[in-house]
Structure formats: C-alpha cells, structure tokens
Amino acid sequence: MIVAGRMPLCVRLQIFLISRSARKGHLREVDNRRLHFVLCGFPWETPVNSFYQILLNTYNYTLAKVQVEEYKNLSDSSLDVGKTIFELSMANQGFNKNISAQNIIIDGNKGFVVTGMNPKNLRLWQAYYWLDSTDCECGPVSVGKTEIGIISLYPLNVTRNLINSLHVENIKQPAKPKTLTFGPPKMS
C-alpha cells in the first residue's frame, strides 16, 4: 500500500521470492512464499508537484521503481496521451524491439502497461495510471492530480505480482484538534 500526502510515503508490497537459476542473469520464482516489506520516504517538492520515488533493487542489476506524483493543479490524465508518451520514451531509451501496449486495471483504476526490449534482449515494463482521474467538462479529456508510474526490469511474473499487489491511497492530514484551555474553576 502506498499512502500519498505531505507526510513520509510508505509502500507495502508483496513480491514472490526470486533467485538466480542456472542460466546467467535469469530470475525465476522459487516457491509460493512472498517477500513482504515496507519502504518509506519523503516527497520531493517542485513548484508544480510533489513526487515520491521508491526503488526496489536485487542482485545489483534488476530493479523496479514506483513513483507517485501529486500535482498542485488538475492535469491531463487521458490514458491515450500517456500511452503514446511512454511508447516514444521507451523507444528513445533503446527499448525499441517488440514494443507493445495493453490496457489493464491497476489498483481498481484504468491504466496501461507498455513493454519493449533493447538490443541485448533486456525487457523493460512501464505501467501507469491515475488515482483520481475524472472526465472533464472542458472536452474529451480526463483530469486528475495524482499519477502513479511503475517501471520494472524484473521478469513478467515478478512485474505482474508487483503491479497486482500495489495499492495507493491519498489520505488527508487530520485536522488540528481545537485548543483547550484549562484554568482554575471560577469562584463566586
């Protein structure tokens, strides 16, 4: 679970235990046990947004990143625009073999996953969705303030588990309690 707000961000994820198999650099599922862990961090602030970034790294070469961005104002959250940007970004990063995109549901929200391979046959997965996307009366677009991105170099089974176990909640800071003043009782 990811809790977004102006507090530390804590992520609770489940990932299948993995290990190296006999083939060099190949990761596989060991058994049905899962790793459960919590990571926390504070947001990076810009004039436009705040963002949280959590990195997962194993074997010093395989990693995944979960990033939550909270915009101060409504932003275009149309998935078709995001999908096109991700496909172009993947090609520009050298993952231009077998690029494909698929619409999926992530954490109960409409999203997508884009995948591609580089010349060394390393596969990159990028998933994306908006936590609070709503249709806009301003035209055929959606708007939102909280976007979530997942980038993974893990194999499909581990990446799928990461995406399926991800949960993000946007909580509000509790209101400050009223100040109570205590004094001696009034004598009449």
d(CA 186, CA 188): 6
pTM of this prediction exceeds 0.85: no
What's the pLDDT at 184? 60
pLDDT confidence of residue 183 = 55
- Our count of domains for the chain comes to 1
Give the chain's residues under pLDDT 70.
1-42, 59-62, 170-188
Does the residue 162 lie in any domain? Answer: yes
Report yes or no on 182 lying in a domain: no
What's the pLDDT tens digit per position in 5-21?
455 555 555 444 344 34
- Residue 174: predicted pLDDT: 52
The rounded distance, in Å, linking the Cα atoms of 62 and 117 is 15
Q: Does the residue 176 lie in any domain?
A: no
By residue range, what is the domain housing residue 55?
2-170
Residue 94 structure tokens = 């050298």
Grouping H, G, I as helix, E, B as strand and the rest as coil, residue 97 is: strand
**pLDDT, tens digit (0-9, with 9 covering 90-100), for 70-98:** 899 999 999 998 899 999 999 999 999 99
In a domain, 112, yes or no: yes
